[in-house]
Amino acid sequence: MNSKRLKKRDVVDRLVMFLNLIALAALSATYIAGSIVPNALWPLGFVAMAYPVTLVFTLLFIVYWLFRRKWFLFLNISFLVLKWDYVQATVKFNLDDSEAKEGIKVMTYNVRLFDHYNWSNDQSTSFKAQEFIFGQRSDIICIQEFYNRKGEKFRAMDTLLSSNRVKHFHSENYKSKLKSNDFWGLATLSAYPIINKGQIPFVNSESALAIFTDVVIESDTVRIYNVHLQSIHLGNEGYAVLDEIIATQDLEDVNRGKIVLRRMKSGFQKRAEQAEILATHIEQCPFAVILCGDFNDVPTSYTYQTIVSAGLQDAFSKAGTGFGATYVRVPFFRIDNILYSKEFVANRHTVHPYAMSDHLAVTANLKQKD
């Protein structure tokens, strides 16, 4: 090989190495973002949100250095192995395609008020969402942004209870209600008898809430947490700006996006505080735990990492497939989760591709350990 060709290849290697270092810096920032409270360093939350993109680029760099037989290959592998749980929480390749139906079937679903304001421009969306929930025949159903109208059209709770095998329910209002006569909040429906219930209010928000419901399953008491952490409420224009920020990770041009940034900062910080309160409550729980909900944050965030640190495992990490994205607006955001304590094992995790809300429904089969 002549010297000119060698020199050209060396230039390409240096360019790829430079880009690779940027990717590794982003990985490092993600690890920091998942480990420390997002106060002064809250902008790192954007880097954490972009982790799936960073992961894909890192894998491409691994392939490149594998063919080039350079030591940068091992550096990239080391960075991924350092936080392998981040990789498993982001993408999963589950080759078992069997219809595992053993154990308890659990569903979590942010139904977006059953399309009360007709965002979908389809008057039948609310009924379609309820029919979908009926058809899954879940044993435990955790619904966020549940809306129960007391008017003539339909009453969601009565309809769900009459059409499902779940006959027990626990519901709590958010502090900020739509109307005094209507219900807007969290609802947990269970095929198992409820022996205790309560809520975990978050004083830093009127639209975030967590509730717990103790049920008896085969003589064992299990605590079900239904969680909806701080939303951002950006609107269509705000999400367009957010998509641009995530893609470029550019926080300098704040004229157009300053409101978005302010709300994102507040969201990062409020969810962190809410996650800490929730984790403490879980750690003090004397029973086995199933936790469902809309975290409004990704698995690499401080919010998610704080909650799982309370001794919980993620059904997606054990039995999911692909990226498991649950938020319709952003293709790789997995913000709806089913977690569980060591008394269970997950044998199936499914994200259902039916967009009747801005979230997708998630189900998992959890089997109690012997």
Q: Look at residue 332 and tell me if it is in a domain.
A: yes
Tell whether 277 and 151 lie within a shared domain.
yes
In the prediction, which pLDDT does 319 show?
Answer: 93
In the prediction, which pLDDT does 254 show?
Answer: 47
Q: Look at residue 94 and tell me if it is in a domain.
A: no
Tell whether 211 and 280 lie within a shared domain.
yes
- How many degrees, rounded to 5, is the angle at CA 96 between CA 132 and CA 137? 20
Tell whether 219 and 315 lie within a shared domain.
yes
Q: Look at residue 355 and tell me if it is in a domain.
A: yes
Tell whether 118 and 227 lie within a shared domain.
yes
Q: Look at residue 91 and tell me if it is in a domain.
A: no
Tell whether 73 and 173 lie within a shared domain.
no
Beta-bridge mates of residue 228:
209, 294
- How many degrees, rounded to 5, is the angle at CA 310 between CA 293 and CA 88? 70
Number of alpha helices (DSSP H) and beta strands (DSSP E) in the chain: 11, 12
Tell whether 36 and 122 lie within a shared domain.
no
Q: Look at residue 280 and tell me if it is in a domain.
A: yes
Tell whether 118 and 39 lie within a shared domain.
no
Q: Look at residue 93 and tell me if it is in a domain.
A: no
Q: What is the pLDDT along the chain (370 residues), one digit of tens a residue?
A: 566 666 667 788 889 999 999 999 999 999 999 999 988 788 888 899 999 999 999 999 999 999 988 888 999 999 999 999 999 999 988 766 555 567 899 999 999 988 777 778 888 888 888 889 988 999 999 999 988 776 545 567 777 777 677 889 898 888 765 555 677 889 999 999 999 999 998 988 888 999 999 999 989 999 999 999 998 755 554 445 455 554 555 545 545 556 677 778 888 999 999 999 999 999 999 999 999 999 999 999 999 999 999 999 999 999 999 999 999 888 889 999 999 999 999 999 999 988 889 999 999 999 998 7
In the prediction, which pLDDT does 7 show?
Answer: 64
Q: How far apart are the first and last CA of the chain?
A: 64
In the prediction, which pLDDT does 6 show?
Answer: 60
Task: Indicate which CATH number applies to the domain containing 132.
Answer: 3.60.10.10
Q: How far apart are CA 331 and CA 250, in angstroms?
A: 20
The number of domains in the chain is 2
Q: Look at residue 98 and tell me if it is in a domain.
A: no
Length of the chain: 370
Tell whether 57 and 121 lie within a shared domain.
no
Structural domain boundaries, residue 8: 3-82
Q: List, as one string, the DSSP characters of 279-328.
A: HHHHHT--SEEEEEEE-SS-TTSHHHHHHHTTT-EEHHHHH--BT---BT
Tell whether 168 and 203 lie within a shared domain.
yes
Tell whether 45 and 121 lie within a shared domain.
no
User: What are the angstrom distances between the C-alpha of 297 and each of 2, 8, 79, 124?
Assistant: 52, 43, 23, 30
pTM: 0.88
